[in-house]
Structure 1
Amino acid sequence: MTFIAGMLMVMLGGGIGAILRYASQEAGKRWTNLPGWTSIFAVNIVGSFAIAFSFGWLQALKMIDDQNLHLSVIQHYQADLSNTMGLNLIVVGLCGGFTTFSTFSLDNILLLYTRPWQMAFNVIMSVVCATLAAWGGLCLGGTFT
């Protein structure tokens, strides 16, 4: 698959995934009395299952190299180990567009099997640093009013 074809698959899947995320959030607002964050929580759980299922399915079909499980989904794409339509459309595009948290979750599962200490570091530091960065961005953004 060429780079352009791969990008088109990611774009198509990502567009569908983003629409599904938006629809899930709107459905949560419209049909439940739950706080807004619960829709994102549900999307993250469903997306994490979907990306791992899709990755496992593609691996079972021999579309992903078993010798390189320690690589993240994006690294698989960049290393051209599995530059396939299925990986680009479903894993990177659809699931990534639905929730980037699913990619984070899959990367951590792959690290758990091969580099557990890196997985622990990634989970802790990603949550702490991302929360601090969001707080900093909110504070800084509020100064421009």
Structure 2
Amino acid sequence: MIELLVVAVGGGLGAAARFMVDGEIRARHTGGFPWGTFVVNVTGSFLIGVFSTLLYTLTFLGVPGDVALLLQLALTVGLCGGFTTFSTATVESVRLAQSGRMRLALANSLGTLATTVTAAGLGVAVGGVAVGGLFG
């Protein structure tokens, strides 16, 4: 039951953060490309990479496994899962295509995929550097 609670709290915080960040970006960047969703998804993917790498090492630092799992669930599944929104990115791509803006639709779909995977990989690398600093 505690796992459900930490995911729910993290998810709520992530969704609220997404709402604020997306709204700020949309207010500044009007036009065809959905920059708010794109930035949220790239940032969230990077954080998933960082958090996953850092939290993986907690057991090596003597943190009990159940505590490490709760932190992992709260931060990656909850917070980052609530923050990122790939379903919205897909809907935005479909709407762009339906309005005849195929290039923007493809840029959004393929750009989101490539950039979020790259961001997650960079997050893992950054987390690894941080872990190396802990153990080096």
TM range (shorter): 0.5 to 0.7
1:21-61 per-residue CA deviation (whole Å, 9 max, x = no partner) reads 11111101223335451111111110000011000001121
Consecutive unaligned residues in structure 2, runs of 5 or more = 87-115, 122-136
Structure 2 match to 1:86? 71
Percent identity between matched residues is: 31
Aligned pair in 2 of structure 1 residues 34, 46: CA closer, same or farther (>3 Å)? Answer: farther
State the distance in 2 between where 1:36 and 1:7 align.
35
State the distance in 1 between where 2:4 and 2:50 align.
22
Could you tell me which of 17, 22, 31 is aligned with 2:19? 22
1:45 aligns with 2:42: yes
State the distance in 1 between where 2:73 and 2:32 align.
33
Consecutive unaligned residues in structure 1, runs of 5 or more = 64-79, 110-145
After the TM superposition, which segments of 4 or more aligned residues of structure 1 sit over 6 Å from their partners?
Answer: 80-83
Cα deviation, residue 62, structure 1 = 2.5
Higher helix share: 2
Alignment of 1:105-120 (within 5 A): 105=117
Which one has more relative contact order, counting CA pairs under 8 Å at least 6 apart? 2
Query: What SS class does the counterpart of residue 62 from structure 1 fall into?
Result: helix
Aligned residues: 87
Amino acid at match of 1:10: V
